Amino acid sequence: MNVIPIELGERSYDIEIESDSLSRVGVSLASLGDASRVVLITDDNVEPLYGEVVSNSIVDRGLDLDVAVIPAGEESKSIEVAYELWNQLLNLKVDRRSIVVALGGGVVGDLSGFVAATYARGIRYFQVPTTLLAQVDSSVGGKTAIDLPQGKNMVGAFHQPCGVLIDPIVLQSLSVEQYRAGLGEVVKYAASLDADFFEMLENNVDSVVKRDPDILARIVARCCQIKANVVSQDERETSGLRALLNYGHTFGHALETVVGYGKLLHGYAVALGSVLAAKLAFRLASRGDERFKEIDQAWIVRQNNLISALGLPTTLQELPSIVGFEPNIAPENLVALTSTDKKAVAGKLNFVLPVGLGKSELVRDVAVEDVLAVFN
């Protein structure tokens, strides 16, 4: 088993990565100690696949178990579904010794984490991520949230899980779209924070596309290690380091909001957002901004080539065929949404932009005209 620690003082925990490990969830929970009741939150896609093996592993350790199944999809990251779950926890007499287990992708993890963060002013939760996106990013680091109609992840809390157990074998059962969406986050790590990792992906595109189990285990571990390093140094995104994990996200969230939650998968939006961030950096470079001098046409082509080799979009023109309708992606609309992003301060437009291969910076106060230009 590969164990990656997240060092956060009394909030420290381990990410355990091991193939075929879903039947060990109960062992990991029991090892946390002092657990009375477990509430397993999952969705109606994941429950038929892995609900039984995880439930059995929990009951086998002598823990009391209840299961809550939510509808699959981004629409469930809502106040209505959170309210239902709060009520279920109350009816089940969940207390501070109970543990919520999130079994599923980013929606289940973010929502369950938010419910755990807020119920009784905070109870423990444990992440068992089943999508690539959740395994490499959202299950680690304690960001929990629900969406508002005007903005993704706008209501939430930092609340670290008490553990994360990752079984990379489950990635074999993902749909092509869900798998590619996770690759959008993988490219984000490589392009913005780790040049060696970027080259490793370039050299192994075929194996990645074919979901070679060894490559997948390496990718998941590498992303979790990067995230562990970042989160251990900047848990609450105050120094600017953790903000770098939002490469591609400011544009990406705007696209998701405009197109409609659940219609454009988050990782696709991040991939397109990364392309737009690179275009913005290139524009600033061509105006003589020294910070971006390494971002030339060759850099842009290199990132685009990797993104499209992994089956992800690199142009806004591809959106209609991905979502099945003509979204209203008017530049003014998209720019307005980037200013409600959580990185915005006092209405100023802030972006994570590339400054080299595997290097990025949080850039404050970008001019609206420059942002408008990248959409044209």
Active-site residues, by number, are: 121, 143, 185, 227, 237, 242, 246, 249, 253, 266
Tell the smallest beta-carbon distance from residue 238 to ligand GLY (Å): 12
Q: Does 341 bind ligand GLY (CB under 6 A)?
A: no
CB 40 within 8 A of CB 51: yes
What is the residue type of 374?
V
In the 3-class helix/strand/coil scheme, how is 190-249 assigned residue by residue?
Answer: HHHHCHHHHHHHHHCHHHHHCCCHHHHHHHHHHHHHHHHHHHHHCCCCCCCCHHHHHCCH
Tell the smallest beta-carbon distance from residue 119 to ligand GLY (Å): 22
Choose between 124 and 253: whose C-beta lies nearer to ligand GLY.
Answer: 253
What does the radius of gyration of the chain's CA atoms come to, in whole angstroms?
Answer: 20
Q: Does 167 bind ligand GLY (CB under 6 A)?
A: no
Contact set for ligand GLY, span 137-156 (CB under 6 A) = 137, 141, 143
Choose between 141 and 327: whose C-beta lies nearer to ligand GLY.
Answer: 141
What is the residue type of 319?
L
d(CA 159, CA 119): 12
Choose between 38 and 245: whose C-beta lies nearer to ligand GLY.
Answer: 245
d(CA 340, CA 254): 9
CB count in 10 Å sphere of residue 241: 16
Q: Does 267 bind ligand GLY (CB under 6 A)?
A: no
Mask: binding to ligand GLY, 216-255, rule CB under 6 A, as x and -? --------------------------x--xx---------
Tell the smallest beta-carbon distance from residue 135 to ligand GLY (Å): 13
In the 3-class helix/strand/coil scheme, how is 53-85 assigned residue by residue?
Answer: HHHHHHHHCCCEEEEEEECCCHHHCCHHHHHHH
Choose between 141 and 163: whose C-beta lies nearer to ligand GLY.
Answer: 141
At residue 224's C-alpha, the angle toward residues 6 and 268, to 5°, is 135
Tell the smallest beta-carbon distance from residue 57 to ligand GLY (Å): 27
Tell the smallest beta-carbon distance from residue 234 to ligand GLY (Å): 9
Choose between 54 and 276: whose C-beta lies nearer to ligand GLY.
Answer: 276
Contact set for ligand GLY, span 85-124 (CB under 6 A) = none
Paired residues of 17 in beta bridges: 2, 166
Tell the smallest beta-carbon distance from residue 56 to ligand GLY (Å): 31
d(CA 263, CA 329): 14
Paired residues of 67 in beta bridges: 40
Chain residue whose CB lies nearest ligand GLY? 245
Residues forming contacts to ligand GLY in the complex (CB under 6 A) are: 137, 141, 143, 242, 245-246
